[in-house]
Amino acid sequence: MRQKLTNAQRDFEILPLSKPRATLFGVLQKPLKEARRLSKENLKKHSIDVMIMATAITNHCILVSADAIYIELQRFNVELQLENWQLETD
């Protein structure tokens, strides 16, 4: 397991949660909480999704995922570039 983590760290750049990302994270969590009427505890379950989205937006990256939550989150910030990796292309 440790070797797999080491390989992943070598193959991918690890981006810290900078102040702009942290700020956007907070901004994105509020409409998610309100739209789904989530308790504080249930909102925590989506924290990593919101953190990934904030990182993608602040780095001008395309978020590649088939997770439906990102479609919902995209309504809260249209800057999210999203691509579903499960959809076939011609």
- Mean pLDDT (whole number) for 11-31: 89
User: In angstroms, what is the C-alpha Rg of the chain?
Assistant: 15
- For the stretch 34-56, pLDDT in tens is 999 999 899 999 999 999 999 99
77, pLDDT greater than 80 = yes
CA distance 33 to 29: 6
Cβ-proximal residues to 44 (8 Å cutoff; 6+ apart), any chain: none
90, pLDDT greater than 60 = no
pLDDT above 90 covers a percentage of the chain that reads 60
- Mean pLDDT (whole number) for 9-31: 88
Helix axes 19-36, 47-58, angle to 10 degrees: 130
- Angle made by CA atoms 48, 38, 82, in degrees to the nearest 5: 45
